[in-house]
Amino acid sequence: MLVMALLSPFTFHLSPLCAQGQTYICELGVQAGCGYYVGDAAPHIFMHPLEAYGLHFRYKFTKRWAIQAKVSGQRIMGYDYTMRGEKLDTKWQSQLVNADVMAEFNFFRFGETNLNDSRIKPYTPYIFIGLGAGVSGVGKEKMSASGYIPLGIGFKWKFSEHCGLNIAWQHNIYFADDLEGKNELNNKYHMNGWNWMNCDVTGMLTAGLVFEFVQAPKACKICNW
């Protein structure tokens, strides 16, 4: 009893130092924004911006590393061309559906506020790269499927215990050149020669909300961290 009485003041002062927000290792999120296509019918990014949206699941291995699985959709658009390569006034549109898995690296140690480690931030820029597969021309008679490499940059901000904000700019480099669904635009005239792979490219600039769940095991069973 005497030992407990002597230690109680130290325990009382230690507990606030151990207190911090919960750590969650799983996350669901939705995002929306604008997308674009770069290829034979559109040589520049954001030349014909249209809506883009997606749903993702993220698993956090550490404060620095995570993996994200995402399903997204977007429309792409460009001008029609004749078989001689002459530009027409009419435009075409195609619907894309993509699914990808990407590895992420946070520039800062990202997570809940921690009084014991000032290096952990509730915000961080991050980069990502991975592999994906997509289908173009959804809803039309002529559809095509292709793999692609998704890569890009983003920013994360955790503004409450369970919720956060994500902003991301994702670039998808396809292993094919037929997203347009038109034979005369399948790089027949080498109009996208700037691309060393001679492939079509799409991208998305999106913002979204995330919800975190599944608490990580605590490193200290006495303290809350």
Q: Are the C-beta atoms of residues 136 and 94 closer than 8 Å to each other?
A: yes
* Cβ atoms of residues 76 and 98 within 8 Å: no
Q: What is the mean pLDDT of the chain?
A: 83
Output the pLDDT for position 197. 61
Give the model confidence (pLDDT) of 172-194 as tens digits: 999 888 888 776 676 555 554 44
Q: At CA 88, angle to CA 85 and CA 89, rounded to 5?
A: 160
- Report yes or no on 90 lying in a domain: yes
Whether 159 maps to a domain, the answer reads yes
CB 62 within 8 A of CB 50: no
Asked if residue 36 is part of any domain, the answer here is yes
Q: What integer pLDDT is reported at residue 15 of this predicted model?
A: 41
47 within some domain: yes
Looking at the structure of the chain, the number of domains it has is 1
Residue 136 falls within a domain, yes or no? yes
Q: What mean pLDDT do residues 49-53 have?
A: 95
Mean pLDDT of 146-150: 95
CATH code of the domain containing 97: 2.40.160.20
6 located within any domain: no
Inside any domain, residue 18: no
Range of the domain at 34: 23-215
Q: For 57-112, what is each residue's pLDDT tens digit? A: 999 999 999 999 999 999 998 877 766 666 777 788 889 999 999 999 999 999 87
Q: Is residue 55 part of a domain?
A: yes
pLDDT of residue 16: 42
Token couple for 209: 């909300």
Provide the pLDDT confidence category of residue 222 given band limits of 50, 70 and 90. Answer: low
Specify the pLDDT at position 196.
54
Global confidence as pTM: 0.81
